[in-house]
Amino acid sequence: MFEKSVFLSALVGLSVALPSAPSAFAGERYQSRPPVIVSPDLSAPWVMQLGGAARPVVYAPRAVQPQVRTYQRQVQRRAPQASLMQPVAARPNKPIRTQIDPIFLPQMVAYDSPHKPGTIIIDTNNRFLYLVTGNGQARRYGVGVGKPGFEWAGKHKITAKKEWPDWTPPSEMISREAAKGHYLPARMDGGPENPLGARAMYLGSTLYRIHGTNAPWTIGSGVSSGCIRMRNEDVVDLYERVGVGTTVIVM
């Protein structure tokens, strides 16, 4: 009977202590705890096993410097390639001369000559054509002359005059230009694009002419195949001042 009383007393003491245990555990359960530090190499499914509302997961810091260095190396390798993609227009271009020196514009100059007025004298070295007017003067024009290997000198008369002449390149010129990759037409009608320009004055029985040009910026240079070229406005002016039979001296 005494043993039974002791057992019942112990059981009652246990039942009295049990209600206080949950409150103690609850206080510990909801208090702030330090975060769990895990490696960033662990997979997400394993981390999720900690429970969504358990404790915050903080990934341990890992070195990111190697990634930065790798990215910098890639930029350095690609930088030269990027420079090659610049538009062609951004690159400097060689300027093209489109005007002539004012010294080659028509003007009256002092010119002593034993030749009678109306004679044309062409100074190929200095790129000038003189129309003798008398009284120690001449009307001077700038001209383009034969390129190296095509210079010549002589005395002829103007045997024909033509306005806006057509152009039939000599076979020798066609072959010579074709060897350089320039293919000339067998014939070209007169007009602004024609190399003979607005007027032509034919010299003797030769293939040489005093004529205009579709490239006025070449006046003052040695660029032709022997012909004497002038600006269109200048050759028109000369054309009106001289006639068939005019003496032309090329020196």
Residue 60: inside a domain? no
- Please say if the pLDDT value at position 160 is more than 50: yes
Q: Indicate whether this model's pTM tops 0.75.
A: no
Residue 119: inside a domain? yes
240: which 2 tokens? 């009106």
Residue 33: inside a domain? no
Phi-psi region of 181 (alpha: psi -120 to 50; beta: other; left: phi over 0): left
Q: Could you give the CA distance from residue 169 to residue 224 in angstroms, rounded to a whole number?
A: 13
- Please say if the pLDDT value at position 158 is more than 80: yes
Nearest alpha-carbon partner for 173 in 184, 161, 163:
184
166: which 2 tokens? 């057509």
Amino acid at 109: V
pLDDT at position 183 is 86
For the segment 140-161, the average pLDDT, to the nearest whole number, is: 96
- The percentage of residues in the chain with a pLDDT greater than 70, rounded to a whole number, is 61
Q: Could you give the CA distance from residue 209 to residue 212 in angstroms, rounded to a whole number?
A: 9
Q: Which CATH number is 216's domain given?
A: 2.40.440.10
Which residues are bridge partners to 36 per DSSP? Answer: 57
Amino acid at 122: I
For the segment 117-146, the average pLDDT, to the nearest whole number, is: 97
Residue 126: inside a domain? yes
Residue 210: inside a domain? yes
Is 182 in the active site? Answer: no
pLDDT at position 49 is 52
HSE (side-chain half, CA atoms, 13 Å) at 28? 5
For the segment 69-91, the average pLDDT, to the nearest whole number, is: 43
**How would you list the strands of the sheet with 247-250, edge to edge?**
107-110, 137-142, 128-134, 120-123, 247-250, 154-163, 199-203, 209-211, 228-229
Quote the number of domains for the chain: 1
Q: Could you give the CA distance from residue 75 to residue 69 in angstroms, rounded to a whole number?
A: 10
CB under 8 Å to 123, separation ≥6 — which residues? 129, 130, 251
Q: Per residue in 183-230, pLDDT tens? A: 888 889 999 999 999 999 999 999 999 999 999 999 999 999 999 999
Residue 38: inside a domain? no
DSSP per residue, 150-165:
----EEEEEEEEEES-
Residue 203: inside a domain? yes
Higher pLDDT pick, 170 / 232: 232
Active-site annotation holder among 115, 156, 182, 211: 211
Mean pLDDT of the chain: 77
- Please say if the pLDDT value at position 90 is more than 90: no
Nearest alpha-carbon partner for 136 in 119, 114, 105, 121:
114
pLDDT at position 79 is 44
- The percentage of residues in the chain with a pLDDT greater than 90, rounded to a whole number, is 51
Residue 69: inside a domain? no
Active-site annotation holder among 115, 156, 182, 227: 227
Confidence of residue 19 (pLDDT cuts 50, 70, 90): very low
Element (H, E) at 38: strand 36-38
Q: Do residues 169 and 142 touch, judged by C-beta distance below 8 A?
A: no
Q: Could you give the CA distance from residue 155 to residue 204 in angstroms, rounded to a whole number?
A: 9
For the segment 44-62, the average pLDDT, to the nearest whole number, is: 50
Confidence of residue 100 (pLDDT cuts 50, 70, 90): confident
Q: Per residue in 38-50, pLDDT tens? A: 555 554 554 455 5
Give, as one character, the DSSP assignment of residue 87. -
Q: Per residue in 204-213, pLDDT tens? A: 999 999 999 9
Domain that holds residue 215: 102-250
Is 227 in the active site? Answer: yes
Q: Could you give the CA distance from residue 232 to residue 212 in angstroms, rounded to a whole number?
A: 5
